[in-house]
Amino acid sequence: MSDNSITDSATTSLISPNISSNQFTSTTPLKLGILASGNGSNFEAIAQAIEIGQLNAQIQVLIYNNPDAKAAIRAANRGVEAVLLNHRDYKNREKFDGQLVQSLQQYDVEWVILAGWMRLLTPVLIDAFPERIINIHPSLLPSFKGIHAVEQALAAGVKITGCTVHLVCLEVDSGPIIMQAAVPILADDTADTLHARIQLEEHRILPQAIALAAQRR
């Protein structure tokens, strides 16, 4: 092995670590509540990691806010309880978050996972689960916050982007970083092709980051 290859593999493991399951096994299963607005592939990745014994957790409930969210179908297929809370039915964000808190508590949730949750959070939710809300974002934060992170990375001409799992605080796409994975941008990438490769990394690191965050507490 050349010196270069040692450096390369060390660098890769720092940027995109892969933690083996026995590095974060907890004795009691983590009780997760997952919030999703759309496709739910990250919900699926968490469910899969639990199924294969990589993550010691159980999904207490999936809460979704769009009636046609595919995440709800995924939950039904896996026998996970799914609850629709449509934000359009609430007078303001605080009232909506109040109902979210009530539902999450009703399902005895300890950790809240935002897996493609396209709503701004208020202190009502954040204060109910202090340092126990985790978000996945498709960029290497603090670069490219907000909803068009993949497009922003392409427009900026950066050569590497990726995804970030972090603890949630009031400021959007901020809060202590738990894990990141890097994804190179290819010359012919479109937002769709790049997002697809970023999602592969999201699915890999999100379950690992959940376990890591729980272990650190």
Smallest gap from Cβ 199 to ligand GRF, in A, equals 6
Binding string to ligand GRF for residues 73 to 112, with x set by CB under 6 A, is what?
----------------------------------------
Minimum Å gap between C-beta 2 and ligand GRF is 36
Task: Give the residue closest to ligand GRF by C-beta.
Answer: 116
Report, in Å, the least distance between residue 115 CB and ligand GRF: 5
Q: Which residues inside 130-189 make contact with ligand GRF, applying CB under 6 A?
A: 136-138, 163
Rounded to the nearest 10°, the torsion over CA 69, 71, 76, 77 is 130
Choices 38-46, 88-96, 98-106, 125-133 (CB under 6 A): range interacting with ligand GRF: 38-46
**What residues line the site for ligand GRF (CB under 6 A)?**
36, 38-42, 115-116, 136-138, 163, 199, 202
Active site residues: 137
